[in-house]
Amino acid sequence: MVESLITSASRHTERAVGGTTVVELRGEIDIRTAPPIGTCLDDLTAVILADLVVDLRAVSFMDCAGLGMLCRARNRVVERQGRLRLVAVGPRVLRVLSGAGLDGVFEIYDRLPEALAAVPGGDLTAAAG
């Protein structure tokens, strides 16, 4: 019974939008739920020039395990000359990113269409962070 609660605490979906993979995370991202999501992100970031948007708008909680998962995905993408953008609004996720000093490391957007339309190395004034 506890196992089903852990499994349902966080869900993710992935879809392709043009040449970009959008991963939508929902629920709690913590030490119990980050590993399977991290495995998914590892698969998605294993290719050269991966273009990935992680949508965090439906995340209700994220701890350091979630931060580690995002940092690992970012590092893997950068190593392979790809790109990773985050979509995050509200204080839950943004406060965690800011508190860890990572808000300036990630490209962060308020809305998914803005993240998808953003030009690499372009003007990030529309970014949330």
CATH number at residue 28: 3.30.750.24
The answer to whether residue 123 is domain-embedded is: no
Q: How many Cα atoms are found within 13 Å in the side-chain-facing hemisphere of 61?
A: 8
Residue type, 2: V
- On the question of pLDDT at 53 being above 80, the answer is yes
Here the tokens at position 72 are 């690992």
The answer to whether residue 122 is domain-embedded is: no
The answer to whether residue 16 is domain-embedded is: yes
The answer to whether residue 128 is domain-embedded is: no
Number of domains into which the chain is organized: 1
Task: Supply the range of the domain harboring residue 112.
Answer: 2-117
Give per-residue pLDDT as tens, 91-121.
Answer: 888 999 999 999 899 999 999 999 999 877 6
Mean pLDDT of 34-40: 95
Give per-residue pLDDT as tens, 55-102.
Answer: 999 999 999 999 999 999 999 999 999 999 999 987 888 999 999 999
The answer to whether residue 125 is domain-embedded is: no
3-state SS of 34-55 is: HHHHHHHHHHHCCCCCCEEEEE
